[in-house]
Amino acid sequence: MSDAEKTFTTIKFSPDCEIEEISRVALAAVLRIHKIDPALISKLAVSLQQEIKKISAKASFVEVEFQPSENKISAEVRANGKSRTISASW
């Protein structure tokens, strides 16, 4: 994937939602769209859920931006003016 072809997907949701379910469904959708093998990044799913829980306390919303590339996917979690990025490579 060249720099010109880089894409990202952002989801924004209320932390009152079932955070674990939303992050799991969103990650599954991103993996299907970008044809990334979910078995290779199960650690990312667990880390994503942990970071969302940590960062979302008292937040009015949470954003997660997924940035896939040829051999890596990053997820930036944003809430309360804070940001954390986690990634998985293969």
Q: Enter the pTM of the model.
A: 0.75
On whether the 3-89 domain is CATH 3.30.565.10, my answer is yes
Which pLDDT score is estimated for 81?
92
Tens of pLDDT, residues 2-46: 444 557 778 887 767 776 666 677 777 777 777 777 676 677 888
Please say whether the beta carbons of 45 and 76 come within 8 A: no
Tens of pLDDT, residues 64-84: 898 888 778 888 999 989 999
**DSSP secondary structure of 56-88:** -TT-S-EEEEEEE-SSEEEEEEEETTEEEEEEE
Domain regions of the chain by residue span: 3-89
